Amino acid sequence: MKIGIIGAGYIGRSLATLGMRQGHDVMISNSRGPATLGSTVSAIGCKAGTAEQAAAFGDIVVLAVPLRNVGDLPAGPFEGKILVDTCNYYPERDGRIDALDRHETTTSQIVAAHFPAARVVKAFNAILAKDIETTGKPAGAPKRRALPIAGDDADSKSVVAAWLDECGYDPLDAGALADSWRFERAKPAYCIPLDRETLKTKLALAERDVELPHGSWRS
């Protein structure tokens, strides 16, 4: 499988590393251009390209940039792609987004509106970057960590779920993009290691207008 990664921060590099370990063909990109990714390419063994090249390259394309930067990306190269949205809303970083503050939409619905011809699946946003490479376990392992996904296209969710399983996690379908608020920032399932049954419980406990204390998920 070809995996294109938009963003070379902690999440992007971790997923690129896992993809290479699994034998996939990976291209990573950042906002400054492939010439600045020499050390990343050397360390991981992946390819480097522009964001447009990585989007065109991937069978799956991972969006791993701050939410505030999504609007800077051209929509065309993402047409028809399975777009894995890892974005989270941090007002202190992204600026206030009124529609999110009023609970009128979700981060993934904002992403889907910007990339209307992509098939967006919310995934890998509810895990700390440092955990991505280290907390996965083989299928069937006791207390295997589960991660939620959401999307409006069943076939795309199946592809992403299979990749999640390959990465060492039990995928749990949390519904449509409109339901993805249940595992956004500061909700009970956000970035806390949970097995499948506990994750189901935490998703059900989420309340739209109630947030956990800031940073509690990092403890």
List the domain boundaries for the chain.
66-218
Asked if residue 185 has pLDDT above 80, the reply is yes
Structure tokens at 69: 């930067």
DSSP the chain: -EEEEE--SHHHHHHHHHHHHTT-EEEEE-TT-GGGGHHHHHHH--EE--HHHHHHH-SEEEE-S-GGGGGGS-SGGGTT-EEEE-----HHHH---HHHHTTSS-HHHHHHHHSTTSEEEE-S-SS-HHHHTTS---TT-TT--EEEEEES-HHHHHHHHHHHHHHT-EEEE--SGGGGGGGSTTSTTTT----HHHHHHHHHH--TT--PPTTGGG-
Q: What is the pLDDT of residues 22-61, one digit of tens each?
A: 999 999 999 999 999 999 999 999 999 999 999 999 999 9
33: part of which helix (H) or strand (E)? Answer: none
The whole-angstrom separation of Cα 24 and Cα 84 is 16
The pairing of beta strand 146-151 with beta strand 119-122: antiparallel
Query: Quick one: average pLDDT of 76-100?
Result: 97
When pLDDT is averaged across residues 185-214 and rounded to a whole number, the result is 96
Largest Cα separation within the chain, whole Å, is 46
Q: Is there a contact between 187 and 181 (Cβ–Cβ < 8 Å)?
A: yes
Nearest-5° angle of CA 36, CA 38, CA 40? 100
pLDDT at res. 219: 63
Give burial (CB, 10 Å; 0-12/13-18/19+) of 60: buried
Superfamily (CATH H level) for 66-218: NAD(P)-binding Rossmann-like Domain (3.40.50.720)
44: tokens are 């991981």
Q: Are 195 and 171 in contact (CB under 8 A)?
A: no
Instruction: Give the residue among 84, 219, 75, 90 at the shortest CA–CA distance from 147.
Output: 84
User: What tens digit of pLDDT does each residue of 96-115 get?
Assistant: 999 999 999 999 999 999 99
The pTM is what? 0.96
Strand order in the sheet with 47-48: 47-48, 25-29, 2-6, 60-63, 82-85, 119-122, 146-151, 170-173
pLDDT, position 217: 84
**Residue 215: is its pLDDT beyond 90?**
no
